[in-house]
Amino acid sequence: TLGASPARVFTHVVIPLTAGGLVSGAVMTFGRALGEFGATIMFAGNLPGVTQTMPLAVYVNMAGDFNAGLTISILLVIISFAIMIAVRLLAHREVSHA
C-alpha cells in the first residue's frame, strides 16, 4: 500500500482500473433495458405517465398511432447512438493518454 489509506487506494487504483468495465456494463445494461418490455408489461403494467417506458410506448403506438411509435423509435435510436459515441470517445481518450 506504500502508506496509502484504503480509501485512497480505492479511488486512485481500483476505480481507474475498473472504469472501462463499469462503463461497458452500464452500456450493456442500458441496451438490455431498451429491449425489455415483457417483464415490465407483465409486472408493472402499462400506465402512461406512471409505469410506461419508452419501449412500451413504441409497442402500444405501433398498433394505433404509427407516427408516434416511429418518432419514439427514432428518439431511442438517437439516444443509443449518442451514448455509444460518448463511450467510444471517452474510451479513446483514456487509451491515448496512457
Domain of 37 in residue numbering reads as 23-97
- Whether 45 is in a domain gets the answer yes
- Whether 30 is in a domain gets the answer yes
How far is residue 10 from each of residues 4, 6, 22, 44, 82, measured CA to CA in Å? 10, 6, 14, 38, 30
Q: Determine how many CB atoms are found less than 10 A away from the CB of residue 42.
A: 9
- Whether 34 is in a domain gets the answer yes
pLDDT in tens, 67-89: 988 998 899 889 889 988 988 88
- Whether 91 is in a domain gets the answer yes
pLDDT in tens, 31-69: 887 777 777 778 887 878 787 888 888 888 888 888 988
- Whether 3 is in a domain gets the answer no
- Whether 2 is in a domain gets the answer no
> How confident is the model over 21-25, as a mean pLDDT?
86
Domain count, the chain: 1
Position 91 pLDDT exceeds 80: no
